[in-house]
Structure 1
Amino acid sequence: MNVEIRRTCAVLAAVGLGVGAGACGREPEGGAPAPAHVQVQASPEVAALVPDQIKRRGTLRVAIPDTGVPLATKEDGELRGMDPGLAKALAQVMGLKYQPQMIPFSSALPGLQAGRYDISFGEFYVTAERVKVADFVTAWRDFSSFVVRKDAAVKPRSLTDVCGIHVGAMNGSVELKFLNDAQADCKTQGKKPITIQAFPSISAGVLALSSSRVQAVLSNRGGGENAIARGQSFTLVGQIGGGPCATAVARTAYSEQMLKAIRKAYEILMANGAYSKILKANNTSYGAIDNPAVYTSGASLPEYE
């Protein structure tokens, strides 16, 4: 299946030289997201690749979509999760000051196009539509599952299993596209259409599920696992889609240089162990990769299951 919309994946764009002495992230308790405490040293090799326009500014402007635990959330005024951890490490290895802004997922690519951010996390699937407006560096893998109540009468394992029931997904997400695309299959099989509800975040969808306003939520696997870890009486079923995710990079006059800097930074973070520590601290090690790839306009794109 060629996915034409989000999989947050695009983003794990960071990488650095040496991990600081206090770099080891703690294991989150009860599914709580870990703070971004991994410290990495600036890499002269990566810093030399950073475009002069960004060096002069001295900051890396990072969009952090509000995708929820374990990817990105805000607690006690602090951004937590895999994305803030990777973004901060990326800025450090590039020798830049980390300047994050939490935004709705649907605002990420428009924000890059408008020049408000240099990069955006959000685990984007790399699609033909997306490479029209931004470039990407892969840094993770993911897939989707249905979150349902343990006592649910329907436990769907495929998209056509939800024909005729009420299902939620995050607005702008690949899961929402999966559901919309499945409507044609429901019709072909003579089944009732899916009643689809889009939510601003996975946490909002989970809240609707807990109050029985929807019968299932299609979510990235990590989001579903953390909802369960936090004590919700849910279970995960099915494996939908799956493939490499990427960090989105603003397309500018200096894109080629910026993409080289981000890719090299990732390679360093993966080599020195910072990448694995950040993923482990956020229960996202299941999606680790070891070979970041660059995708831009005209490139052959990855295929998604």
Structure 2
Amino acid sequence: MKNKTLFTVSALAGALLFSGCAKKTETAAESPAAATEKRLVTVGSDLTFPPYEYMKDGVPSGVSVEIMEKIAEVDGSYKADWIDTRWANLIPGLKGEKYDILFSSMYITKERLEQIDMIPYYKTDISLLVRSDSDLAPKGPSDLCGKVVGAMKGTAFSAQVQEISEKRCVAQGKKAITVREFETSPQTTQALLAHAVDIQYDDAAVMKAAENNLKAKVKITSTEQFFPIVGGIGIRKGDTATYKLVEEGLNRIKASGEYAKILTAYGLKEPTAEDIAAVMK
């Protein structure tokens, strides 16, 4: 990661110009007067991806939301203003200054780092979900050959399934995977339940949440490692002030233990220095 120019907290207050393009929200603990004194940081997120980020009773919820809210809380001078949008709009919206930050369980990839800066904050892998009444019980990548697999449109998932199809299936004389893409993870799960796909290929924590929420309807069968990956917070290139604001807040909640508590509650892990070095080069 490039070296960043250091700013003092007081300098940051004057340096940041945050847009207020989304509807303001207040927590129950805040008075209207206190809320108006805080700057708004617009946070772009696809709020359809439990347990990371989703709407619960009309309120942004999930691991990403909790971490961002804690980061803002320890600073105290601003609050997160969540903007719900679909996945394909995230990076273009950040580059176009519609959002100040992307906090949407976005995997760190070489292609994304060419467009935006990213701050690592969690590690995950892939799980496979099938209907509970299915005869299929895929354990790993090779078990996907010849099957109809559902994945989220515009994500790394679809590209990974295509790679598996080419390298693990076709190259070894097996049938190719038929990939069907859907706008959101819940839509992909609905396609699975409707027999439109045989298997759902998605983030491990997301599939665990689906298994818990749908109880007897679906089950995770995978046991092999797929593509362990590090997720990050997106910051517009050149926006050093926002980068430092988020990075410093994240470091503070790590030091307080709040960060570890949140990750543990959702069954996620903090990436190691080696994990981060592998994706940030």
Report the identity percentage. Answer: 22
Q: Partner of 1:72 in structure 2?
A: 53
Deviation at 1:268, TM superposition (A): 0.6
Instruction: Report the 3-state secondary structure (helix = DSSP H, G, I; strand = E; otherwise coil) of the residue aligned with 1:123.
Output: strand
8 Å CA contact 2:260–2:270 kept in 1: the answer is yes
Measured in 1, the distance between the counterparts of 2:249 and 2:272 equals 12
Alpha-carbon distance change, 148 to 256 in structure 1, aligned in 2, over 3 angstroms: same
CA distance 1:204–1:49, shift in 2 (3 Å) = farther
Give the superposition deviation at 1:49. 6.2
- Structure with bigger helix share is 2
- Counterparts of 1:1-305 in structure 2, within 5 Å, are 47-48=9-10, 50=12, 52-54=14-16, 58-94=39-75, 95-185=77-167, 186-230=169-213, 231-236=215-220, 237-238=222-223, 239-252=225-238, 255-280=239-264, 283-289=265-271, 301-302=278-279
Change (3 A) 1:63 1:56: closer
Equivalenced residue count is 251
Structure 2 gaps, min length 5: 1-6, 20-38
SS at match of 2:135: coil
Q: Using a 3 Å threshold, how does the CA distance of structure 1 residues 112 and 303 change in structure 2: closer, same or farther?
A: closer
Equivalent-residue separation in structure 1 for 2:53 and 2:40 (angstroms): 20
Change in Cα spacing, 1:292 to 1:200, as seen in structure 2 (3 Å) is farther
How far apart in 2 are the matches of 1:56 and 1:210? Answer: 42
Deviation at 1:62, TM superposition (A): 0.4
Q: Which amino acid letter does the alignment assign opposite residue 128 of structure 2?
A: F
Give TM-score scaled by structure 1 length.
0.74
> Structure 2 counterpart of 1:200, which letter?
E
TM-aligned CA distance change 1:49 to 1:285, over 3 Å: farther
Check conservation: 1:276, 1:285, Cα contact below 8 A.
no
Amino acid at match of 1:130: R
TM-score, with length taken from structure 2: 0.80
- For residues 198-238 of structure 1, what are the alpha-carbon distances to aligned partners after superposition, in whole Å with 9 as ceiling and x for unaligned? 11111111111122211110111111111111124322213
Find the residue that maps to 1:151 and give its secondary structure.
coil
Q: Do the aligned partners of 1:170 and 1:201 also contact (CA within 8 Å) in 2?
A: yes
Find the aligned partners of 2:126 and 2:12 in 1 and give their Cα distance: 34
- Secondary structure in 1 matching 2:126: strand
Q: For the structure 1 residues 49 and 188, does the alpha-carbon distance in structure 2 shift closer, same or farther, using more than 3 Å as the test?
A: farther
- Aligned residue for 2:67, secondary structure, equals helix
| Counterpart secondary structure, 1:157 | coil
| Distance change >3 Å, CA 147–CA 48, structure 1 → 2 | farther
Q: Determine which structure has greater relative contact order: mean sequence separation of CA pairs < 8 Å that are 6+ residues apart, divided by chain length.
A: 1
Shift of 1:159: 2.2
Do the aligned partners of 2:48 and 2:55 also contact (CA within 8 Å) in 1?
Answer: no
- Superposed CA RMSD in Å reads 2.6
